[in-house]
Structure 1
Amino acid sequence: LNSADIKYTPTDGTVTLKKAIIRYTEENYNKLVAPENVIVSNGAKQSLSVLMQAIINPQDEVIILTPYWVSYPEMVKIAYGVPVIVTPEDGGVHPRIKEIDENVGSYTKAIIVNSPCNPSGAMFSEEFIAGIVEYCEKKKIYLIMDDIYSQLIFDGRTRISPYKYAKEDSDHSRLVVINGVSKQYAMTGFRIGWTIANPQVVEAMDNIQSQTTSCPSALLQAAAAGALTGIQSHIESLRLTLENNRNVLLQELNTLDGLRTYKPDGTFYCFPDFSAYNKDSRALSEFLLEKVLVVTVPGVEFGMEGHLRLSFCGTIKEIKEGVERIKWALDPNAPNEIFIGDRKLVRDWL
């Protein structure tokens, strides 16, 4: 602000930020990319949306793995593509290449992989990442890695770089990696994300972005560059806090009979199966909001009915109180009265 360097920037991002992203990619993925492989957008969400518009033609299909982030299918539809939802046959949260292969056809243009996954927190195995990279290269389809949560992983696990398994290293590679500052740096409102892709894809995205949002904010790009090149210890501090929060949430959820919960490997989400209480996740979510003021997201929005997405990025007190309210609302064995703030509520529906 003091330098008045607040004019339009290049559509694909400032030189300073792109250098920081190149350095970040080399340090975290062991992959050296060129400036022409990088485009900065207004958040990873815009990165994904513009990417879809750049690579999808009408009726092209995009494989989306259940459970999925709610925006994936809509982004594909906006680009006049067709989302193809692949649900694990075992009802779990880990995809299998066999199930993906059964849904790939002549119109398949891309596969989206989000690991760790929003909403489940599941981190896919190294075997799966290696296999899906090889599969997409063999089939000549785009592999889109949404890596926005890749620094927020637990239990001693480490990031899996898809580049480690990529044999196609030319300017025609169909491997695309999306990332941003929102999650690992807790800068959600800064809206800075980026795409690493081949030069042809980046050029197409640049053309689309220039006609829609011109460029990301100069000020916020400077902030993102500062985050990427500054002290990184706070990422580990955030990760440790979230891991502890996850442990507390799981401990509290285990007191609910009939609840099935996958232990999140990362992110700050948990995706329990509440089917034992109500198979209609929208109705259950609305019920919990109305009765006990607990905000959840219905699992049906992520492609898995009966589940609810819970966030554990609040305080320990908020996590414990939230689960206590859920238990009071659903468990007939819970005490019949509860205080929410200074209000005393008496349960009259169980």
Structure 2
Amino acid sequence: MRSAIQNLEESKIREVANAGMGRADVLAFWFGESDEATPEFIREAAIESLRKGETFYAHNLGLPELRQAISAYTSRLHPGVKADRIAVTSGGVNALMLAVQALVDAGNEVVAVTPVWPNLTAQPLIMGANLRRVSLVPKDGAWALDLQKLLEAITPATKLLVVNAPNNPTGWTLTRAEQQAILDHCRRTGTWILADEVYERLYYEATPNACAPSFLDIASPDDRLVVAHSFSKSFLMTGWRLGWLVMPASLTQHMGKLIEFNTSCASVFTQRAAQVAMERTDEVTPRVVAHLKACRDTLVPRLQALDRVEVASAKGGMYAFFKLSGFGDSLEVAKRLVAEAGLGLAPGNAFAPQAQGWLRWCFASKDASRLEEGVARLERWLG
């Protein structure tokens, strides 16, 4: 087996979840998904597709109708993105891995902004890349970017920059000025940008297009930019495993070849469901965002009221990322919370060494009382 695979760290989030799965007394907030089922009309579209017998292979790049629907959806939010720049993938994770496979050779230098979902740093390592992490800076429970430090880390030797904003786990979001500075700098160094923007609609600040700032707003169609998206978060479709990539049109055909040798294609019936979700997005996403904002505003003030807890209200995403003072290893703390308090959270050191002592709480809960009970359990445990 390749040493790059042998040396991969197992997911610390999964390690905590495995310790508590199957226990009815545990309130689980460890994974990044809502506990609300996919809307019925989306499920019905998949069922109807199956009834029609649509159980065969599809085009590598996705159904033309879905790619066109994604094009229309994306072009509502950002300057026009044509369907020839879009590839449908078997999940957002698959989208990100495909992008890394397409752009990174063994020995290439990759820079990643952390703390970040561990898959984003594992994927370059799987390809044999040399990974450099540039950490956000924590202050008063919030995390911010040291822009100059990041720009200094990106040199002509840097093949790829990986950035996730709105960020999992911190909720940090790039400003338009920061995006422009990063894009301009990467143009000079010839560096590709892989932007994980799956949380762009889960943004709680007022904006004209109801989403977070995107590199697509300022980039040219032929810029060295690949943007990854997913149906999981904004459409409540985590288990469907469907995502998409936006890239320069010159890359699309090659991405189709790569999809062929990975998964061949996404299943047709899931794509039919996704097409309906895209076409009826106004019936889903605004309600999801409003509900998640209410969840955030339920959880964060209660955490802020606890002694030994430092947390700021995230502008985007679906997580409260908080520092628990007086404790050591985040993984051990998370395991203790499962065993002793029946509370399932993700350990901060799963996302970066700099996040040791932090915990991530996914607040995407259809029942706010679960969040309140979770805080009560944490408070009792701290006492």
TM value normalised by structure 2: 0.81
Q: Which residue of 1 aligns with 2:72?
A: 23
SS in 2 for 1:80: coil
The correspondence of residues 301-320 of structure 1 with structure 2, limited to 5 A, is 301-303=350-352, 304-314=355-365, 315-320=367-372
Change in Cα spacing, 1:12 to 1:231, as seen in structure 2 (3 Å) is: closer
The AA in structure 2 aligned to 1:188 is: T
Q: Which residue of 1 aligns with 2:89?
A: 41
**Residue 238 of structure 1, CA deviation:** 1.0
Distance 1:90 1:242 in 2: 23
Letter in 2 for 1:75: Q
Identify if the C-alpha distance between structure 1 residues 80 and 130 changes in structure 2 by more than 3 Å, giving closer, same or farther.
same
Which residue of 214, 217, 223 corresponds with 1:161? 214
Residue type of the partner of 1:63? V
Query: What is the correspondence of 1:160-239 to structure 2 with a 5 Å cutoff?
Result: 160-166=213-219, 168-170=220-222, 173-239=223-289
Shift of 1:186: 0.5
Quote the Cα distance in structure 1 between the aligned partners of 2:105 and 2:156. 13
- Offset, 1:82: 2.0
* 1:44 and 1:180 in contact (8 A); partners too: yes
Cα distance in 2 between the residues matched to 1:94 and 1:273: 15
- Computing the radius of gyration from Cα coordinates, the structure with the larger value is 1
Superposed displacement of residue 201, structure 1: 2.9
Whichever structure has more helix as a proportion of its residues is: 2
Match 2:327 to one of 278, 286, 292: 278
> What residue number does 1:324 align with?
376
Corresponding position: 1:86 with 2:134: yes
The answer to which of 298-307 and 253-262 deviates more is 253-262
C-alpha distance after superposition, 1:20-41 (max 9, x if no partner): 1111121111223242x11111
User: Which whole-Å CA distance do the structure 2 matches of 1:161 and 1:74 have between them?
Assistant: 24
User: Out of 178, 202, 212, which is 1:152 matched to?
Assistant: 202
Compare relative contact order (CA 8 Å, sep 6+) and give the higher one, 1 or 2. 2
Among residues 59, 62, 81, which one is paired with 2:110 in the alignment? 62
Count of equivalent residues: 326
SS at match of 2:323: coil
CA distance in 2, matches of 1:307, 1:226: 39
Runs of 4+ aligned structure 1 residues displaced above 6 Å come to none
1:170-226, CA deviations, whole angstroms, 9 ceiling, x for partnerless residues? 3xx201111121100001111110111123433332222211211100110111011
Q: Which moved more, 1:53-62 or 1:84-93?
A: 84-93
Which whole-Å deviations, capped at 9, do the CAs of 1:23-82 have from their partners, x for residues lacking one?
1121111223242x1111101110000110111011112211121111111111111212
1:226–1:325 distance in 2 versus 1, CA, 3 Å: same
> Aligned pair in 2 of structure 1 residues 89, 236: CA closer, same or farther (>3 Å)?
closer
Kept in 2: contact 1:120–1:262 (CA 8 A): no
Q: Secondary structure of the residue that 1:215 maps to in structure 2?
A: coil
- RMSD of equivalent CA atoms: 1.6
Matches within 5 A, 1:327-342: 327-331=379-383
CA distance in structure 2 between the partners assigned to 1:234 and 1:211 by the alignment: 34
Letter in 2 for 1:324: A
Question: Gapped runs of 5+ residues in structure 1?
Answer: 332-350
Q: Is contact 1:31–1:163 with CA below 8 Å preserved after alignment?
A: no
Normalised by the length of structure 1, the TM-score is 0.89
Residue from 66, 69, 76 that aligns with 2:124: 76
In structure 2, distance between residues paired with 1:104 and 1:121: 23
Deviation at 1:231, TM superposition (A): 4.7
Aligned amino acid, residue 224 of structure 1: A
1:134 paired to 2:187: no
